[in-house]
Each structure stands twice: as C-alpha cells, then as structure tokens.
Amino acid sequence: MPLQSVDACTRVLWNDNDLAVVVGRTMDWPESTEPVLTVMPRGMERDGGRTGSTVTVEENPAQWTSQYASMVTTIYGVGSVDGFNERGLAGHLLYLNAADFGERDPSKPGVQAGLWLQFVLDNAATVAEAIEALDTVQIVMTEAAGHKSYVHMAIEDANGDSAIIEYIDGEPVIHHGQEYRIMTNDPTYDEQLELLAQLDFSDPSSDTPLPGNVKATDRFQRAAYYSAMLPEPSNEREAIAGILAIARNVSVPFGAPYKDFGIYNTEYRTAINLTDRRYFFELTTSPNVIWAELDGFGLEAGAPVMTLDPDDIDLAGDVTASFQPAESAPF
C-alpha cells in the first residue's frame, strides 16, 4: 500500500462508556485511495492470493467462504482497510513502516495483506476468534497502485475487547486487551506505549503538556489525552460526535505542505457504532457526514454486493438507501 517511510492514520476506540462501543479512524494518504463503501453478504468465496487480477500468493493461497456479512471501505478496489461485520467485530489497517511479514512459508495458506482485514471480518465474531483464525494463515506483502502494504491492524468487538497486531521481523506481535485503545504509526506499538507511559493523562486538565505536531507519536499522545476527557454520552449522537472530534483533532489539513517530509493529509474519517452496527463516513473534501445501517441490507448468502461512492457532495445523512448493486464483487 505505501511507497516510502510515512506517517499516516490514527485509530481511537471508546469502549468504557455505558452507551455503546464506538471507534473512529483517520485515513491519511497523498492521493485518493479510491474508497468505496461496500456491503458484502455471507457466503462469498474468497481467494487470499489475489490482488485484483494479479496473483500475489502463487503457492497455497488461502481459500475461504465468508461466514459473516460486512460493511467495509475498500482501497484501490483490491482489499479492505476499514469496516465491521454483522457480529460487531471491526478492524482497521494503518501504515507501519516497520512492518515485516517475513519470508513466505508455503506450508501455511497465504493471505495477501490487502485482504488481511477482510479475512478477519469474514471468519470471526470476536477479537479472540480473530486472533485464533489468523494463526492458521500467513499474511503476505502485496502491492497496489505502486504502494506496498506496510501495515499493522487494530481490531475491536462489540464487547469492548481490542487487539493491535503487528508483524515485526517476520513474527506477529499482538497486544490484546481492552486497554489498547489508541493506534497511529511508527515507531512500533511497544515503543509508542513506552512514550505514552512517560505522560500522565489520568487526570487531564488544561495545564497538561500536550504535543501539537502531526507526527505519529504526537498524534498518539494527543488522541490518548482527548480520549481521557470524553464525557459519558447520553445518546449515539454524542458518542459519535466525541469520536469524530478526536479524529478531526489528529487529522492533517487537506492540502497541507507536509508531503515533503512524509506526512500526508487526511483523506477521510470513519466512526463505527459496534453495538448498533452503524457506519459513519466523512470525506474531508465534503461538508457532510454520511452513515449507513448494516441491518438495512440483505445479508444472506446470494444477496447482491452493494456499493456507494462517497465522493458525492450531495450525499448527506443516512445513505443506506443510496447503495446500489455492484456488477461484481471487488475481490
């Protein structure tokens, strides 16, 4: 997916309020990733070795049939980078320059990294199930639109469980627990946690020193600070407003001249209500937030794949009815 050392994207999970488990993320990138909101029913046949029409895993590609329906945002039409399934399991791929999936081991079924998230959403209902399922396959580096897939993944479920999964020196490093709520980019998650431990956000105030730049370490700490300040929401509107407020705080302004030193503007922001299975999407070049109800679609095996191009300034509010049947599945 990425082409060089960059800082991009932030994920924030709010799993300790009494209303709903909600999560948000930013997608930061130097060009359009051609995002399409896509609803995929159960019973879809997957080939984990393909990137579009290109075979990425030639020997022993993973083959599976989706157990769960999902709503995702696709990237370049070859994989998913954000989304959730009907059981309330969600996930997000973010850039990590340190990612190293290791040498290919053909004894394990291979999944090209663009389908890493989709494999999880298709096959697991909880974070624990996702971790178990991932132990049966090997994630394989891929490339799309000239960008290699240097990524790590955050997953969370409707019970509030969370995990950060990175591949470092060819081995998976998993941080599993409800306390792992924030993720950005490099350095590795171990190092980010060490940096965060040097700060005390247990009693945040206006006097708390706070880094203000857009690099990954600053965004990580700023997101943690503002997450600690979120008030208990009385309804979904307040919960989503809180998550999107943090996402906007850690966003990079559209067109800002950060590209020269490897930090890119925010292309879009998402928020997911995992309790009620509702997906919110905000394109930074549009003045409107849109959302869709997963339960408003036919999710049974054989139902059509439904898609919506969010790059339409006339879209606003609940766009569930605006999705249209796709001519074919994106992958």
Average pLDDT, integer, range 72-76? 97
Q: What are phi and psi of 276, to 5 degrees?
A: -110, 5
Show the DSSP H helices in 37-84 as ranges: none
What's the CATH superfamily of 10-325?
Penicillin V Acylase; Chain A (3.60.60.10)
Q: How many residues does the chain have?
A: 331
The neighbouring-strand residues paired with 139 are 111
pLDDT of residue 198: 87
Cβ-contact 322, 281 below 8 angstroms = no
pLDDT digits 0-9 by tens, 265-279: 999 999 999 999 999
Query: What's the rounded Cα separation, in Å, for the pair 141 and 127?
Result: 23
Q: What pLDDT score does 326 carry?
A: 97
Dihedrals phi, psi of 222, to nearest 5 degrees: -65, -40
pLDDT digits (tens, 9 = 90+) for 132-153: 999 999 999 998 888 899 999 9
What distance in Å separates the CA atoms of residue 42 and residue 61, rounded to the nearest whole number? 20
Q: Is 155 helix (H, G, I), strand (E, B) or coil?
A: strand
What tokens were used for 187? 């350095």
In this prediction, residue 4 carries a pLDDT of: 45
Q: Average pLDDT for residues 280-288, to the nearest whole number?
A: 96
Look-up: residue for tokens 């290791």? Answer: 102
pLDDT higher than threshold 80 for residue 261: no
Average pLDDT over residues 34-52: 95
CB neighbours of residue 241 within 10 Å = 14
Contact 20, 274 (CB under 8 A): yes
Q: Which amino acid is at 131?
A: I
Three-state helix/strand/coil letters over 278-299: EEEEEECCCCCCEEEEHHHCCC
| Ranges 53-57, 163-167, 261-265, 283-287: which has the least confidence | 261-265
- CA–centroid distance for 86 within its chain: 16
Phi-psi region of 204 (alpha: psi -120 to 50; beta: other; left: phi over 0): beta
**In the prediction, which pLDDT does 207 show?**
85
Partners of 63 in beta bridges: 47
Q: What is the pLDDT of residue 7?
A: 63
Give 91: exposed, middle or buried? Use CB within 10 Å, 0-12, 13-18, 19+.
buried
Instruction: Yes or no: say if 267 and 28 are a contact pair by the CB < 8 Å rule.
Output: yes
pLDDT range class, residue 165, cuts 50, 70, 90:
very high
User: Residue 205: its pLDDT value, please?
Assistant: 84
pLDDT in tens, 295-324: 999 999 999 999 999 999 999 999 999 999
Beta strand pairing call for 79-85 and 90-95: antiparallel
Q: What is the pTM of this model?
A: 0.95
Judge whether 325 and 306 are in contact, CB under 8 Å: yes
Q: C-alpha angle with apex 99: 71 to 89, nearest 5 degrees?
A: 25
Query: Is the pLDDT assigned to residue 6 strictly greater than 70?
Result: no
Closest listed residue to residue 310, CA positions, set 276, 269, 262: 269
Q: How far apart are CA 252 and CA 122, in angstroms?
A: 32
- Locate the domains of the chain by residue range: 10-325
Task: Report CA torsion sign: 40, 45, 50, 53.
Answer: negative
List the structure tokens of 21.
């488990």
d(CA 83, CA 68): 13
**Residue range 168-223, pLDDT digits in tens:** 999 999 999 999 999 999 999 999 999 989 887 777 888 888 888 889 999 999 99
Helix or strand or coil: residue 13? strand
Q: Which amino acid is at 19?
A: L
Report the relative pairing of strands 306-308 and 278-283 from DSSP bridges. unpaired
Residue 150: half-sphere exposure toward Cβ, Cα within 13 Å: 21
Q: What is the mean pLDDT of residues 36-59?
A: 93
Residue 3 reports pLDDT greater than 50: no
